[in-house]
Amino acid sequence: MYYVYPAVFYPEGDGKFLVIFPDLNDLATCGDDLTEALAMAEDACGLYLFTALRDGDPIPEATPIEQVEKDDEKAFVNMVLVDLNEYAKKHSDKAVKKTLSIPTWLNTLCEKQY
């Protein structure tokens, strides 16, 4: 499941960037450069959404990019894409118990081996 949210990137003068997601309760992250800021933004957004879904919290709608406000003329808005299925694969360690049935001959063979 894909989610796309606008993020406001604020350059900090030393090459670093502050990133704010206005639609996600002003979720913030940062990076030492633009590449790292983009990666951190994807990770922060994924964590926020993953946690919200897990806890049964509502997922906010994304504001269209042209309606996102920024309070600094040097800032820019970029959409951040999160594949929540991939995020869950990487970060979920919840065990799931499964019961299964196997043929008797296979069970006997396995018991003899161990």
How does pLDDT run across 49-70, given as a tens digit for each residue? 999 998 999 999 999 999 999 9
Rg (CA), the chain: 22
- Select from 53, 17, 56, 57 the least CA-distant residue to 34: 17
d(C-alpha 75, C-alpha 96), whole Å? 44
φ/ψ region of 15 (left if φ > 0, alpha if ψ in -120 to 50, else beta) reads left
Question: What pLDDT was estimated at residue 92?
Answer: 73
For the chain, give the percent of residues with pLDDT over 70: 99
Is the pLDDT reported for residue 96 higher than 90?
Answer: no
Structural domains in the chain plus CATH codes:
2-113 (3.30.160.250)
Question: What pLDDT was estimated at residue 71?
Answer: 87
The predicted model gives 77-88 an average pLDDT of 94
pTM, two decimal places: 0.78
d(C-alpha 59, C-alpha 52), whole Å? 7
d(C-alpha 27, C-alpha 20), whole Å? 6
- Select from 17, 58, 57, 22 the least CA-distant residue to 37: 17
Is the pLDDT reported for residue 93 higher than 90?
Answer: no
The predicted model gives 31-50 an average pLDDT of 97
Question: What pLDDT was estimated at residue 114?
Answer: 72
CA distances from 95 to 52, 58, 84 (A): 20, 25, 18
Question: What pLDDT was estimated at residue 94?
Answer: 72
